[in-house]
């Protein structure tokens, strides 16, 4: 250990590039005990070192209290960030619930990181809290409030005695599955009754992990106490052999026992107690993979900041990017738009900007031979609009037919300024490009 210098280099994905932060091994302690988040093992210090490096990047440990969950996931992983809100499922059809479950299953199959976030208040406390969005709030406003709640800084809340879940906390989703069919006569009767009531004949299960329970060596802290939990009536009703077979099916292609801090529960219960899910997607690119990445660094400024579609006269002044799909079959395209950080050039730290402008994007289908910017909306077909949101990153997944498309990132209001990173995951051998300005009248560049 004579060569050990106590210096560590940690890399974070900042504004589209991996940024290196150098820290020492001096950690904050009181009476010899670490006061910052740390590992449950006494000989493992990398979580504390990682946190110290991130605090240095932000400008101090106190800045960690206000950092949003979406910022942490982006800065730590550099992945494409997607979000799902569960609240609409309470009044939606079962088909919508099934589609959401399939989305979570597909995300895990793609090796994505999925975090389910509990509500700030769970159980009876939440029942009396009322609708914070107000009775006259629009669906868009409610979605904004739900996402803000989802990405809000995570300050550990109290444990709900009825469900056992910790409020305002994030749980790691590790697996989804369908409960195997019950071959008995009673099982057939129950399945037939569920079909008659338009209910799924088999329960959908989630397996989650409480990272706080794993770090505190307290398996009962923050773990689900409802259906399918350890010792619950639902788990004990079936015979021992049948229960063992169901457990093995639940953890097929994984382990036959629960890992430390893991628990299982019904998806229907989870959608009631969780605000939603944050999904860190990492589409595989390369020669032998399905995706090809085209990334662009740009900014909205002066004449190239035309605002949202509410401003029809200036909307097409925003930056434009084009790509063409040539296959006869429909192809999938992923879009990720991320607003860049604001930097303090003196201290070289990230500045938390509470007034950052909302970002959005629109997807247009244009003529096959178009090589220049779109000047009139009447010459194109609007495929999709992601309304301007306060989020730092927004995501879209589309299945598109053959043709040429133009993607337009925008801010909510004209003449607002911000920098961004646009990442387009396109099918193999499909390239995207920035559509440059073609000025027919150089004296009036705003009309280009």
Axis crossing angle, helix 139-151 with helix 69-77, rounded to the nearest 10: 60
Extract the tokens encoding 93: 């059809």
Q: What does the pLDDT look like over 308-349, one tens digit per residue? A: 999 999 999 999 999 999 999 999 999 999 999 988 878 888
Instruction: Indicate the CATH number of 80-121+143-249+258-281 among 3.40.630.30, 1.10.3720.10, 3.20.20.70, 3.90.70.10.
Output: 3.90.70.10
Q: Give the residue extent of every domain in the chain.
A: 7-66, 80-121+143-249+258-281, 292-435
Task: Give the burial string for 318-329 (b: 16+ CB within 10 Å, else e).
Answer: bbbbbbbbeeee
Global model pTM greater than 0.85: no
Extract the tokens encoding 322: 């084009």
What are the two backbone dihedrals, phi and then psi, of residue 172, each rounded to the nearest 5 degrees?
-85, 125
Residue with tokens 């469900």: 163
Task: Give the burial string for 47-82 (b: 16+ CB within 10 Å, else e).
Answer: bbbbbbbbbbbbeeeebeeebbbbbbbbbbebbbbb
Stated as kind and residue range, the H or E segment containing 98 is helix 94-109
CATH architecture of the domain with range 292-435: Sandwich (2.60)
CA distances from 164 to 221, 228, 423 (A): 7, 13, 40
| Rg (the chain; Cα; Å) | 25
pLDDT in tens, the chain (448 residues): 578 888 999 999 999 999 999 999 999 999 888 888 888 788 889 989 999 999 999 998 888 888 888 889 999 999 998 888 886 665 545 677 888 889 999 999 989 999 998 887 776 555 544 444 444 445 555 555 665 666 665 566 778 888 888 888 888 999 988 776 555 566 555 555 555 444 554 678 888 888 765 555 544 567 788 777 766 555 544 444 454 445 445 544 343 345 667 788 888 877 788 888 889 998 988 888 889 999 999 999 988 999 999 999 999 999 999 999 999 999 999 999 999 998 887 888 888 777 889 999 999 999 998 989 999 998 899 999 999 988 889 999 999 999 999 999 999 999 999 999 999 999 999 999 999 876 444 444 433 3
Distance from CA of residue 400 to its chain's centroid?
23
The predicted structure's pLDDT at residue 224: 80
Length of the chain: 448
């Amino acid at each position: 250990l004579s060569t050990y210098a106590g210096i560590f280099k940690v890399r974070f994905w900042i504004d589209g590039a991996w940024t290196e932060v150098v820290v020492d091994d001096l950690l904050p302690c009181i009476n010899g005990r670490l006061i910052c988040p740390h590992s449950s093992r006494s000989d493992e210090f990398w979580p504390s070192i990682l946190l110290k490096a991130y605090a240095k990047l932000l400008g101090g440990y106190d800045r960690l209290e206000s950092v949003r969950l979406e910022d942490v996931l982006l800065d730590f992983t550099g992945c494409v960030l997607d979000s799902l809100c569960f609240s609409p499922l309470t009044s939606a059809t079962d088909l919508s619930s099934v589609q959401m479950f399939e989305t979570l299953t597909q995300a895990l199959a793609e090796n994505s990181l999925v975090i389910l976030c509990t509500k700030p208040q769970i159980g009876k406390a939440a029942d009396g809290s009322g609708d914070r969005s107000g009775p006259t709030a629009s669906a868009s406003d409610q979605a904004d409030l739900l996402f803000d709640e989802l990405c809000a800084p995570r300050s550990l809340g109290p444990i709900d005695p009825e469900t056992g879940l910790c409020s305002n906390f994030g749980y790691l989703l590790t697996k989804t599955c369908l409960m195997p069919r019950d071959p008995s006569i009673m099982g057939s009767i129950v399945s037939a009754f569920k079909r008659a009531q338009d209910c799924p004949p088999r329960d959908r299960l989630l397996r989650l992990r409480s990272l706080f329970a794993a770090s505190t060596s307290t398996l009962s802290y923050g773990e689900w106490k409802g259906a399918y939990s350890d010792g619950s009536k639902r788990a004990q009703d079936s015979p021992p052999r049948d229960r063992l077979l169901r457990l093995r099916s639940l953890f097929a292609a994984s382990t036959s026992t629960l890992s430390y801090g893991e628990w299982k529960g019904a998806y229907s219960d989870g959608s009631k107690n969780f605000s939603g899910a944050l999904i860190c997607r990492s589409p595989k690119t390369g020669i032998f993979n399905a995706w090809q990445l085209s990334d662009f660094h740009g900014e909205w400024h002066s004449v190239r900041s035309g605002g949202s579609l509410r401003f029809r006269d200036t909307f097409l002044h925003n930056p434009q990017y084009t790509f063409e799909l040539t296959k006869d079959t429909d192809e999938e395209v992923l879009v990720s738009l991320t607003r860049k950080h604001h930097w303090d050039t003196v201290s070289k730290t990230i500045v938390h900007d509470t007034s950052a402008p909302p970002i959005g994007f629109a997807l247009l289908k244009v003529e096959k031979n178009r090589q220049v910017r779109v000047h009139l909306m009447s010459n194109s077909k609007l495929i999709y609009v992601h309304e301007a949101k306060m989020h730092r990153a927004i995501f879209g997944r589309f299945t598109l037919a053959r043709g040429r498309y133009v993607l337009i990132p925008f801010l909510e209001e004209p003449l607002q300024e911000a920098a961004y990173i646009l990442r387009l995951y396109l099918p193999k051998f499909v390239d995207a490009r920035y559509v440059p300005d073609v000025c027919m009248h150089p004296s009036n560049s705003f009309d280009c």
